Structure 1
Amino acid sequence: MRKSLSPGPRPAITWAETPDRYDVLQAAQVHASTYRRGLEDMPCSPRRSYREMLEVFSEPLPERGSDGVSVLNDLVARGEQGLTPMTHSGFFGWVLGGSSPVGVAADWLTSAWGQNAAFHTSSPTAAAVEEIASGWLLNVLHLPAEAAVGFVTGATVGNFTALAAARGAVLRRAGWDADNDGLFGAPPITVYVGDDAHTSVFSALGYLGLGRNRVTRVKSDDQGRMIATDLAMQMADRDGPAIVITQAGQINTGAFDPFADILEAAQTRNAWVHVDGAFGLWARAHPDYRPLTNGVEHADSWAVDGHKWLQTPFDSGYAIVRDRDSLHRAMSIDASYLPAVGERDRIPSFLVPELSRRARGLPTWAMLKTLGRKGVEDLVGRHCAIARRIAERIGSADGVHVVNDVVLNQVIVSFGHPEHNSRQRKALTEAVISRLREEGSIFVGGARWRDDWVMRVSVICDATQPADAELAADQIISAWAAVSARPSAVRPPG
């Protein structure tokens, strides 16, 4: 987490000979490697704002084009000024992962090979790699081996895809074929969602015509866990098709819903249970954290991101559905020009809401092959230990309050003294976040949690090592010391 005010201008790549059309690929490799190698010497924040970057890129469409290497040099010279170093060891702003170089390299090949991964006949390699990677993924997550895995862009589309399968399945049980006949006149579906569910769940429900607001909210505890007794009580009062959406890893606290109790309540209504496990489902890869997820393997569907703990590049998530037929019914597509399919063939486009799609299973295969089961376990264990250490260090400082039980990789913190009200604590917390971003050694985010505005520390980047826990804690304590030293921060004004 070394700080540098500016990495300096990047030299342009030139070629001694007249470039051919493929030289641009080598140029991209050189630029990318140079950027990644120099990342730790850069400040952990963008150098220019969005408005400034609009000015940097503002120009009329050229009448004549330029050679590819020159265009790439120009993109790098302009674009790097506004990059947020999300693969920096001090990046704790959001739960994103760090796109390991292996995953990035496999992603380059994915683009260079230019495969449409819609069918096994259009790209035998893409379909075969997805099939093998699916089995590995289910194995490392200790989920049912018979489940179908769709390779989607991320957990938002993963939730959408799995819930599309759920919508069709629960309506078929009620005698209605929603996949063919739509929702007009269909029996109403009751969707149960915890009070602290992630916003992407509500987006998925909106996309599906089930409504962002037309949900039955279930009470949650002080860590954001769904209260199973409240769910059971509400389910006892209703009949008809039902879907229960649970959470593995609350986005602020990292908490896990009580899956076994929820599943027991859901079984009384024959409800479909879905798990939004964008990052928290990876806890199942580590024996010490797997107990947090006890019972989750008995759910009907799951959504999880590869571009979080597996460290694949972005555009990597998984929709996992126990009943393959329900997923096929929701996602399959047919046209006369499409190839015939066999009963046992993997048809990637029958598992996701896309026809033309990139072979995004390749980076997943490469990362699982590189890490192996033990490597994934070690990643989860390392990051959770770092989060605990940061919480221990900063929680011992006067006026620093670790708000959550640090059960995984998430730490949320508020700043202030007993005489400060919530508005003043918010101002102090925002001041600490701003100071840290200005200093540029680490990048942290902010969020509302209950009545407080908190600083979020999300530990999930591959580059983050145990020593970074001490450096991050030092920076946070130092920033708080500077903010709290201001006369206005000691006691409320007036």
Structure 2
Amino acid sequence: MLPSRNTADRRTELDLLADADRRARAYVAAIGSRPVYPSSAARAALDAFEEDLPVSGHDEASTIRLLDELGSAGAVESNGARYFGYVVGATLPVAAAADRLALAWDNAASTSVGSPATAAVEAVAARWVLDVLDLPRDSAVGFSTSAGAGTVAVLAAARQHVLARLGWDVARRGLVGAPGVRVVASERAHVVVRKALRVLGFGLDTVEWVRTDEHGRIDPAALPPVDASTIVILQAGEVNTGEFDPFSAIMARVRSSAGWVHVDGAFGLWARASRHRSLTDGVELADSWTVDGHKWLNTPYDSAVTIVRHPGAASAALHSDASYATSTDDAQKNLTLEFSRRARGIPIWAALRTLGRAGVAELVENSTRSARRIADGLHGAGYTVLNRVVLNQVLVRAGSPGETERIVAAAQASGATWFGSTVWQGAPAFRVSVSSWRTQDDDVDALVGLLGDLIATPDDRSA
């Protein structure tokens, strides 16, 4: 049932928002006191959401109450200190608060006409992102949903640019009859890169996959010769080991001849804003970059940034002016996949303004220090740490595949933490990702203590 517009109902609207805010504050206040992953009972209770669509509708207060009482209990505490899964950061309070205010505005953040406020704030956020990451200052910056959508956008721009140099306007003429475009990428390219290639019509069997070393980095000697028809895709932060492709050596081989070089830096690119910057030496020579906000910058889900050195290629591939909605090439709707969009750059602006350059560096460096503390503790407890822990990823294996899987399941079921399993070099392992601003030494020590107890628990060693 639609609310009416009288004064009494305006008070009801404000009361409803206040109730939701009260419940949200209570959820945040209780972080650390509930299971990191919801119990089986809490998950089973979610079946109560399985209602038939009502004919007349329920009152607003009961809807928010149901969402909180069942949903909050069934939510994962990824906004906490002891969640170590999927390289997901908690949300900085200022970023969450800024997002709430932008939601109250409810502006379409596609152009400055739709929202002068969001356009002004996102323009500053774009400038600051280029500044803190020290990337070419005249690059185009788009604020998108994820590295997945962002990679589709930047690779579309890459193809547009490469084909334009070969005398083909793909935006107007399409792909039928177009010159061939090669793709050279790491054999350990992230799944979002593979997905973007599929969506754009680059068959995975046509990609020239380059072998990697024992750390998951591209071996420069294995790179094939490239030319102006080639898109090269590199990684800043391999998803298991956290390692970086040797950018300087690779750029020396491909920069002068490749048509385009893209860097997938969903979390690793933030190392450039810290004392670990040397890991990214040479990355500035690329043509495009993707990086997430909801990972290491600790902005709310979902938040990502695309950066393209050649603004004309981005706008040519992604331009979406309509007769009723014209704008400049640098409008967000012309740099991202979204035409109708929320202002995802506002939480990024709030985080950068509040943290400053020193705060971003501290966030990255604290996480890296914690990761090394975890690695040392687990090594001492009898685990095998499989990576060099150059950043925030700790890749671990117990004595056998069966024991590794048992420990992951037990840790996840404990409610005291959550991290995910993975496969490394053909065998089970698990991956601890430290990304939250909330994680402190006591959280690290609690994780090490739990895993130390689990590895000491008798089990079937023959697995």
TM-score range, shorter chain: over 0.9
- Is 2:22 aligned against 1:47? no
- Secondary structure at the aligned position of 1:55 is classed as helix
Question: In structure 2, the residue corresponding to 1:270 is in which secondary structure?
Answer: coil
Q: What's 2:386 paired with?
A: 403
1:93-492 aligned at under 5 Å gives the runs 93-231=85-223, 234-235=224-225, 241-287=229-275, 289-339=276-326, 341=327, 346-398=330-382, 400-416=383-399, 425-482=400-457, 485-486=458-459, 488-489=460-461, 492=462
CA contact (8 A) 1:48 1:82 kept: no
Aligned-pair distance for 1:51? 7.3
Distance in 1, matches of 2:179 and 2:186, equals: 23
Amino acid at match of 1:129: V
How far 1:334 moved relative to its partner?
Answer: 2.4
Q: Distance in 1 between matches of 2:427 and 2:265?
A: 25
Residues 1:342 and 1:40: Cα distance change in structure 2 (over 3 Å)? closer
Distance 1:49 1:126, change over 3 A: farther
Q: Matches of 2:328 and 2:281 in 1, distance apart? A: 37
Check the 8 A contact 1:304/1:318 in 2, yes or no: yes
Work out which of the residue numbers 52, 56, 80 in structure 2 matches 1:60.
Answer: 52
The one-character-per-residue Cα deviations of 1:176-220 (angstroms, maximum 9, x if unpaired) are 111221111111111011011100001011111222332100010
Relative to structure 2, which stretch is displaced further, 67-76 or 324-333? 67-76
Q: Given residue 240 of structure 2, which amino acid in structure 1 is its aligned partner?
A: N
> What is the letter of the counterpart of residue 114 of structure 1?
D
Q: Are the counterparts in 2 of residues 48 and 81 from structure 1 also a CA contact under 8 Å?
A: no
| Aligned-partner residue type, residue 257 of structure 2 | R
How far off its partner does 1:268 sit?
A: 4.5
- Residues 362-421 of structure 1 show CA distances to partners (whole Å, capped at 9, x for unaligned) of 1111111111111111000100000000101111223x10001100000011010xxxxx
Is the contact made by 1:194 and 1:219 (CA closer than 8 Å) also made in structure 2? yes
How far apart, in 2, do the equivalents of 1:187 and 1:54 lie? 52
* Matching residue's letter, 1:476: L
Task: Give secondary structure in 2 for the equivalent of 1:191.
Answer: strand
| Structure 1 spans left out of the alignment, 5+ residues | 1-16, 417-424
Quote the Cα distance in structure 2 between the aligned partners of 1:134 and 1:265.
30
- Render the CA deviation track for 1:205-241: whole Å, top value 9, x for unaligned: 111122233210001011110111111xx226xx551
How far did residue 242 of structure 1 move?
0.4
Distance 2:140 2:88 in 1: 25
Distance in 1 between the 2:297 and 2:219 partners?
30
Q: Note the C-alpha offset of 1:50.
A: 9.7
Choose 426-435 or 19-28, whichever is displaced more.
Answer: 19-28
Distance in 1, Cα, partners of 2:85 & 2:455: 17
SS state of the match for residue 412, structure 1?
Answer: strand
Deviation at residue 156 of structure 1 after TM alignment:
1.0
- Tell me if the contact between 1:266 and 1:272 (Cα under 8 Å) persists in the aligned partners: no
Query: Quick check: 59-68 or 34-43, which moved more?
Result: 59-68
Residue identity in the other structure for 1:324: P
Q: Does the C-alpha gap of structure 1 residues 184 and 365 become closer, same or farther in structure 2, counting only changes over 3 Å? A: same
Distance in structure 2 (CA, Å) of the matches to 1:342 and 1:188: 31
Tell me how far 1:74 sits from its aligned partner.
1.2
TM (norm. structure 2) is 0.95
**CA separation in 2, counterparts of 1:169 and 1:39?**
47
Contact 2:152 2:200 in 1 (8 A): yes
Q: Mark the runs of 5 or more structure 2 residues left unpaired by the alignment.
A: 1-7
Deviations 1:119-170 (A, max 9, x none): 1111111111111001111111111111110000011111111111101001
CA drift of 1:110 comes to 1.7
Runs of 4+ in 1 over 3 A off after TM superposition: 48-51
C-alpha displacement at 1:471, in angstroms?
1.5
Deviation at 1:317, TM superposition (A): 0.3
Query: How far apart are the structure 1 equivalents of 2:77 and 2:213?
Result: 35
2:29 corresponds to which of 16, 37, 40: 37
Return the alpha-carbon distance in structure 2 between the equivalents of residues 302 and 57 of structure 1: 40
| Structure-2 change in CA distance of 1:376 and 1:413 (3 Å) | same
| % identical aligned pairs | 42
**Cα contact 1:203–1:212 (8 A) shared by 2:** no
| Aligned partners of 2:367 and 2:435 also within 8 Å | yes
Deviation for aligned residue 1:46 = 1.5
Report SS of the residue matched to 1:45. coil
Partner residue in 2 for 1:420: none
> How far apart, in 2, do the equivalents of 1:225 and 1:123 lie?
43
Mapped contact 2:231–2:258 kept (Cα < 8 A): no
TM-score, scaled relative to structure 1: 0.89
- What is the SS of the residue equivalent to 2:442? helix
CA contact (8 A) 1:120 1:348 kept: no
1:12-23 map, 5 Å: 20-23=12-15
Task: After TM superposition, give the deviation of residue 445 of structure 1 in Å.
Answer: 0.8
